[in-house]
Amino acid sequence: MIAEPVPARPPTAILVVDDHDLLRLGVRALVQAQAASSGASIEVFEAGKVADALALYEEHRDSIGLVLLDLALPDTHGLSGLAEFRLRYPAARIVVLSGTGNTSLAQGAVALGASAFLPKSADLKEVVGFIRACGLLDGGAAQTSPPAMKTLGGYAETAQASAWQELTPRQMQVLQWVLEGKANKEIAQIANLSEGTVKNHVSTILLLFGVRSRAQLISSLR
């Protein structure tokens, strides 16, 4: 007799990644209050750094249905946190939270597959509304497809946005070090590469993003 397959449990948790305790607390309180009012049970995991978030997601990926990811974390620059998450867990559903309305960030988030780009200036209830639309706050409700992409003004992908998709994992690492202000020599030592190789990576990155200098690159991505 062949045993019936056990159906996979629908996701019942979210992961909030932000280095501000008050924002995490606010999201947790709103989410759990909304869930309780509809008879649902939702767990909220919290992390203040991308490294901690990745570890939590690895451990609880079967139960986490949504990741709320701040861009300005102690161990990230620009979209590097989102890029790392997507690289390691391409199936993760991620909502980007940003304290800035920088258009290149919104475009880059779209290109990297974020489900939404929400400014922190927005009411937290908008974030909770998105979570509800994903089917995570209604007890017994079937999981739904993620809502349509939401960005600041619905930006279309541009050459700069597509640049994020064209970066190799090594170029993404080099880009993060450039955004941290490290010189080619420092990057070469950290990455165990020759300075010439690092220079080539940096030149390719500048070309992809359509800028002429490291200063312009940093300015456009922050």
Question: Based on the number of CB atoms within 10 Å of its own CB, is 64 exposed (0-12), middle (13-18) or buried (19 or more)?
Answer: buried
Instruction: Give the orientation angle of helix 103-111 with respect to helix 214-221, to 10 degrees.
Output: 80
Residues whose CB is less than 8 angstroms from the CB of residue 41 and which lie 6 or more positions away in sequence, other chains included: 12, 35, 139
Question: How high is the pLDDT of residue 160?
Answer: 55
Distance CA 3, CA 6 (A): 9
pLDDT for 169:
76
127-129-131 Cα angle (round to 5): 75
- How many angstroms separate the CA atoms of 209 and 47, rounded? 30
Q: Cα–Cα distance between 84 and 100 in angstroms, integer?
A: 20
Q: What are phi and psi of 98, to 5 degrees?
A: -140, 140
* CA-based nearest residue to 26, from 119, 120, 105, 110: 120
Nearest-angstrom CA–CA distance, 16 and 113? 18
No. of H helices and E strands in the chain? 10, 5
Q: What is the pTM for the complete model shown?
A: 0.67
Look at strands 94-98 and 13-17 and give their pairing. unpaired
pLDDT per residue, tens digit, the chain (222 aa), is 454 454 455 677 899 999 988 888 888 888 888 777 777 778 899 999 999 999 999 999 999 988 999 988 888 877 888 888 888 888 898 988 877 766 667 777 777 788 888 777 666 777 777 777 777 766 544 444 444 444 444 333 344 556 777 788 788 888 878 887 889 999 999 889 999 999 999 999 888 888 888 888 877 766
- Alpha-carbon distance of 89 to 44, in angstroms, equals 19
What are the DSSP calls for 159-213, one per residue? HHHHHHHH--HHHHHHHHHHHTT--HHHHHHHHT--HHHHHHHHHHHHHHHT-SS
pLDDT tens, residue by residue, 114-124: 888 877 766 67
Would you call 182 helix, strand, or coil by DSSP? coil
Angle at 202 (CA atoms; ends 201, 205), nearest 5 degrees: 90
